[in-house]
Structure 1
C-alpha cells in the first residue's frame, strides 16, 4: 500500500523531471503552484506548471521524497538566485535610473508618442526591479526557514514552507529569463489566435473545441482571460473556426510558437485497430493594444463582404465583415463587435497586423513587396502531436519537448512548450 502511494504521488514529479532533462533544467527548476508572484507587466506572469502542486494536508510526500532531496532542491534554487539575481537587479536598477534621467531631461510635451514610450518603459523597468527585490526576500525566507528546520531537527511543515519559497524563487527567475528573450518586433503585443478545423468528418471540429479550451485554460493560469470574438459553430456539434483575443502584454511573444498544425491522434471510432488523426491549424497575429497601425492599404486591393445566411444567426452575420487582400490572398473576418463598422475596423487592423508579420518573415520593407507564392502555408507547418491512444503523449515537433500528461496539457498547461519555443528563437 505504501509503495503504491509513493508511485502514484511521485509519478507526476518524475514525468516533469524527465521533460525538464530533455529540454534544459533552467526552464523547469520548479514545480507548479497556484500562487502568483508579484511580477511586472514586462514579465507578463509566465509560469511553468509541469504538474500539480503538493496538497496542503499531505506531509507524507516529504517523507517519501526524502529530506536530502528536499534540501537539495531548496539549495539549488537559492544558489541559482544568489548567482544570478544580484547581477540582474544591479543591471535593471541602472536601466531604471537611466530612464528616469531621460524623463527629467526630455520635454514630454514636444513628442507625445515618444513620451508615452519612455513612460511605459520606465514603468516596466520599475516593476522588473520590484520583482527582483521580491526575489531577494524570497531567497532570504527560504534560507531562514531552512536554518530553523535544521535547528529544530525534523519539521516537515517548515520544510514545506522553505520548499514553497524556493518554488517562488524559481518561478520569478524563469519569468525574468524568458522576458529577456522576448525581443521580436511584436513580442510585447497582445495576441489574436485563430483556430481552424481540418476537412472531413466531425472530429476535427470537436478537436477545435478542445484546443479552444486549452488556450483559454492557459490564459487563466496566467491570471488573464481570453475573449472569444468569432466562433463558427456547426449544427452537429463542434467548431469549424474560432478566434480568441488575448488582451495582455507579451501574449503574442508567448503564443507565437503555437502557430501551425496541431494533430490529435486517437483510437478508431469504429473500434478497429487503426488510429485516426484530427487536425487543426492555429494562426497567431499581433493584437496591438495601444493604437491602430499607421499605414494604409489601397482600397482597390480589398474585397469587403458579408456572408449570407438565414435563421437565428442572421442578425449577427449581418454585422460580420470579411476582408480579402487581393495581392496576397489573405482573408480575415470579424463578427465579435456590435456594428458592421466596428467589425470592419477590427478586421482591417487584423489584416494589417497579418501583412506586417508576413513582410518581416519575407524580409521585405513594404507589404507591397510581399510575394504571394512565398507566404507560408500553415497546413505545411507541423507544430504538435497529441497522442491519446495507444498511450498518452504530447510531442512538440519543433522543439522535441514531450509531456506525458495529455489531460493536463489540454487543461492549459502548455508552459513548457511556450518556454521551449521562446528559447529557440534567434
Structure 2
C-alpha cells in the first residue's frame, strides 16, 4: 500500500511540475515580464529531475528493487593506492545518497594506516535504494599520477563494490535431531596408533 502511495505522490509531482513549466513557458511567449529566465531554468531542472526519477522507477521492477541496500566497498591489491581509492568511492557514494535524500548508517569502517580505508559497510535507507545502487556492483578502477609516489608515476588502483538488498528478519530455522545423520569413522593420515584405534572423524 505504501509503495502505491509513493507512486501516486511521485506522479503528482511530475504532473504539477509540468503544469508549472507550461505556465512559465506561456509567460515567456507573452513576454509579460512576470518571470525571470533563472526561474524558468530552475523549474525546468526540477521537472526533469522528477520525470527522470519516475522513469527510472518504472524500470525497477525486480523483486528486491524497492528495498534498502547494503553497500560493501573493499580495496583491491595495491596497498595505500587502493585504500585511498576505496575511500574516494565511499565519499562519492555518500554524497550521491545525500542528494537523493536517502539516509545512511555506516555499519562497519576500518581505516588504513597511511591513508584511505581497508573496507566499509554502509546501510542505505530509501525508496528503491537497492534498485538504483545494484548497477554499482563490480570492480572499479582508477588510473592517476599517484600522490603517494615520490617519483610521480602513474598507478592503477582497484576497489570492489558489493551491493545487497536489505532483507526482512529471517525466521529461525529449527533442525530436528531426527533429521540429522551423523557418521563416525576412523580418520586417515598422520596420527600414529591412536587414529587406528578410535573413530575420531565425523561427517
Q: What is the TM-score with the length of structure 2 in the denominator?
A: 0.75
Q: Aligned residue for 2:181?
A: none
Q: Aligned residue for 2:140?
A: 262
Q: Aligned residue for 1:248?
A: 126
Change (3 A) 1:126 1:278: same
Which consecutive residues of structure 1, in runs of 5 or more, have no partner in the other structure? 1-121, 299-426
Q: Aligned residue for 2:64?
A: 186
CA contact (8 A) 2:111 2:119 kept: yes
Work out whether 1:166 is the aligned partner of 2:44.
yes
CA contact (8 A) 2:27 2:35 kept: no
The 5 Å alignment of 1:37-76 reads none
Greater Rg over alpha carbons, structure: 2
Choose which of 24, 27, 47 in structure 2 pairs with 1:145. 24
Tell me how far apart the structure 2 counterparts of residues 225 and 193 of structure 1 sit (CA, whole Å): 13
Q: Which has the higher strand share?
A: 2
Q: Aligned residue for 2:160?
A: 281
Moved over 3 A (4+): 294-298
Q: Following TM superposition, by how much is the alpha carbon of 1:174 offset from its aligned partner in structure 2, in angstroms?
A: 1.0
Residues 210-255 of structure 1: CA distance to partner in whole angstroms, max 9, x if unpaired?
Answer: 1111111111111123211111223333211111111223111111
Over the aligned positions, Cα root-mean-square deviation in angstroms equals: 2.3
Q: Following TM superposition, by how much is the alpha carbon of 1:295 offset from its aligned partner in structure 2, in angstroms?
A: 6.7
The 5 Å alignment of 1:189-200 reads 189-200=67-78
Residues 34-80 of structure 1: CA distance to partner in whole angstroms, max 9, x if unpaired?
Answer: xxxxxxxxxxxxxxxxxxxxxxxxxxxxxxxxxxxxxxxxxxxxxxx
Q: Aligned residue for 2:169?
A: 292
CA contact (8 A) 1:192 1:244 kept: yes
Work out whether 1:230 is the aligned partner of 2:108.
yes
SS in 1 for 2:36: helix
Q: What is the TM-score with the length of structure 1 in the denominator?
A: 0.38
Tell me how far apart the structure 2 counterparts of residues 126 and 133 of structure 1 sit (CA, whole Å): 11
CA contact (8 A) 1:196 1:282 kept: yes
Choose which of 86, 89, 95 in structure 2 pairs with 1:211. 89
SS in 2 for 1:193: strand
Change (3 A) 1:130 1:286: closer
**Count of matched residue pairs:** 173
Change (3 A) 1:295 1:187: farther
Change (3 A) 1:152 1:264: same
Q: Following TM superposition, by how much is the alpha carbon of 1:297 offset from its aligned partner in structure 2, in angstroms?
A: 9.1
Tell me how far apart the structure 1 counterparts of residues 7 and 103 of structure 2 sit (CA, whole Å): 23
SS in 2 for 1:207: helix
Q: Following TM superposition, by how much is the alpha carbon of 1:189 offset from its aligned partner in structure 2, in angstroms?
A: 1.2
Q: Aligned residue for 2:8?
A: 129
Q: Aligned residue for 1:271?
A: 151
Q: Following TM superposition, by how much is the alpha carbon of 1:126 offset from its aligned partner in structure 2, in angstroms?
A: 2.8
Relative contact order: is structure 1 or structure 2 higher (C-alpha 8 Å, sep ≥ 6)? Answer: 2
Q: Aligned residue for 2:185?
A: none
Tell me how far apart the structure 1 counterparts of residues 114 and 37 of structure 2 sit (CA, whole Å): 53
Tell me how far apart the structure 2 counterparts of residues 230 and 240 of structure 1 sit (CA, whole Å): 11
CA contact (8 A) 1:145 1:159 kept: no
